[in-house]
Amino acid sequence: MLARNTLVFSLLAAPLAAQAPASAPPSEQQIAAAVSVLPEEERAGASVLGYDAAGKLVNLRKGSGEMVCLGHNPKETTFHVACYHSSMEPFMARGRELRATGVKDPEVDSVRFREVKEGKLALPKGPSIMYQFFGGSFDPAKREVSGARLLYVVYIPFATARSTGLSAKPSRDTPWIMWPGTPKAHIMFSPGM
Asked whether residue 157 is assigned to any structural domain, the reply reads yes
Asked whether residue 153 is assigned to any structural domain, the reply reads yes
Angle between helices 89-100 and 107-117 (to 10 degrees): 130
Average pLDDT over residues 50-55: 95
Averaged confidence pLDDT in the chain: 90
177 forms beta bridges with 187
Asked whether residue 98 is assigned to any structural domain, the reply reads no
Give tens-digit pLDDT for 14-25: 433 344 445 899
Give the Å distances, CA to CA, from 110 to 96, 102, 119: 14, 14, 14
Asked whether residue 119 is assigned to any structural domain, the reply reads no
Q: What is residue 32's predicted lDDT score, i.e. its pLDDT?
A: 98
Q: What is residue 191's predicted lDDT score, i.e. its pLDDT?
A: 82
Asked whether residue 117 is assigned to any structural domain, the reply reads no
- Which of these, 47, 189, 176, 174, lies nearest to 130 by C-alpha position? 189
> Does the CA dihedral 156-158-164-165 come out positive or negative?
positive
Give tens-digit pLDDT for 115-164: 999 999 999 999 999 999 999 999 999 999 999 999 999 999 999 999 99
Average pLDDT over residues 44-56: 96
Asked whether residue 97 is assigned to any structural domain, the reply reads no
Asked whether residue 47 is assigned to any structural domain, the reply reads yes
Q: What is residue 9's predicted lDDT score, i.e. its pLDDT?
A: 42
Give tens-digit pLDDT for 170-193: 998 999 999 999 999 999 998 875
Amino acid at the residue 57: L
Tell me whether strands 80-85 and 67-70 are parallel, antiparallel or unpaired.
Answer: antiparallel
Any alpha helices (H) in 74-186, and if so which ranges?
A: 89-100, 107-117, 161-164
pLDDT at 2 over 70: no
Q: How many independent structural domains does the chain possess?
A: 1
158 vs 1 pLDDT, higher one: 158
What share of the chain has pLDDT > 90, as a percent? 85
Question: 160: domain range?
Answer: 2-87+124-189
Give tens-digit pLDDT for 22-44: 589 999 999 999 999 999 999 99
Give the Å distances, CA to CA, from 61 to 11, 38, 122, 133, 193: 32, 15, 23, 20, 34
Q: What is residue 192's predicted lDDT score, i.e. its pLDDT?
A: 74
Give tens-digit pLDDT for 83-113: 999 999 999 999 999 999 999 999 999 999 9
